[in-house]
């Protein structure tokens, strides 16, 4: 059986035994998690999320970049269209991790990585590509400085250790901007 057949069988099992009809589009825990595409760091698994609790956005490195900000603006627009507002009472969690493949990108494809991050290649060293603790703090600071995000959104910066399976809070929860 090839992997697509395996996936189809797993989906059939899911539909028969785990599917929940009528789930709401907006996350029940009013939370958005930004993480890396690395399969070792799936927020659904490492944070033991239940279906529908959080919206999860993943990109290379879990970094704040122009595409992420555009996605967040679209999600906010969607929430408004559905009679909700992303802001007060909502959480935004940045989840970076140790042993991230983005480090290899900075050595083997710096121009492509710089484009992904929306910066010039010479600015890559300042992005703390090889240090998830610094990078998550930098990205939280970028979000806090972004006037297009709701100021009462609570942001947290976490680092997941792929060697231990544990998360560490690097940036404690706080509003993007003080009232």
* 105 labelled binding-site residue: no
Q: Which two tokens stand for residue 113?
A: 């990585």
**Is the Cβ–Cβ distance between 59 and 123 less than 8 Å?**
no
* 36 labelled binding-site residue: yes
Task: Report the alpha-carbon distance of residue 49 to residue 47 in Å, rounded.
Answer: 6
* 97 labelled binding-site residue: yes
Q: Which residues contact 57 (CB under 8 A, 6 or more apart)?
A: 32, 33, 34, 35, 68, 71, 72
> Euclidean distance between the first and final Cα of the chain, in Å?
57
Strands 154-160 and 31-36: unpaired
* 38 labelled binding-site residue: yes
Judged by DSSP in three states, 105 sits in helix
Annotated binding site: 36, 38, 97, 100
Annotated binding site for Zn(2+): 36, 38, 97, 100
């Amino acid at each position: 059986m090839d992997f697509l057949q395996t996936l189809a069988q797993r989906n059939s099992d899911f539909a028969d035994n785990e599917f929940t009809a009528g789930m709401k589009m907006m996350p029940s825990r009013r939370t958005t998690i930004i993480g890396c595409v690395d399969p070792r760091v799936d927020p659904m698994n490492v944070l033991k999320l239940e279906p529908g609790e959080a919206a999860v956005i993943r990109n290379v490195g879990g970094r704040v970049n122009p595409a992420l900000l555009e996605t967040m603006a679209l999600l906010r627009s969607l929430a408004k269209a559905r009679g909700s507002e992303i802001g007060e009472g909502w959480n935004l969690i940045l989840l970076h991790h140790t042993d991230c493949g983005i480090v290899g990108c900075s050595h083997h494809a710096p121009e492509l990585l710089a484009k992904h991050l929306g910066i010039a290649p010479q600015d890559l060293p300042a992005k703390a590509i090889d240090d998830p603790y610094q990078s998550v703090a930098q990205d939280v600071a970028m979000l806090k400085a972004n006037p297009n995000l709701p100021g009462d959104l609570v942001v947290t910066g976490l680092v997941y250790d792929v060697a231990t399976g544990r998360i560490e809070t690097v940036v404690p929860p706080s509003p993007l901007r003080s009232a």
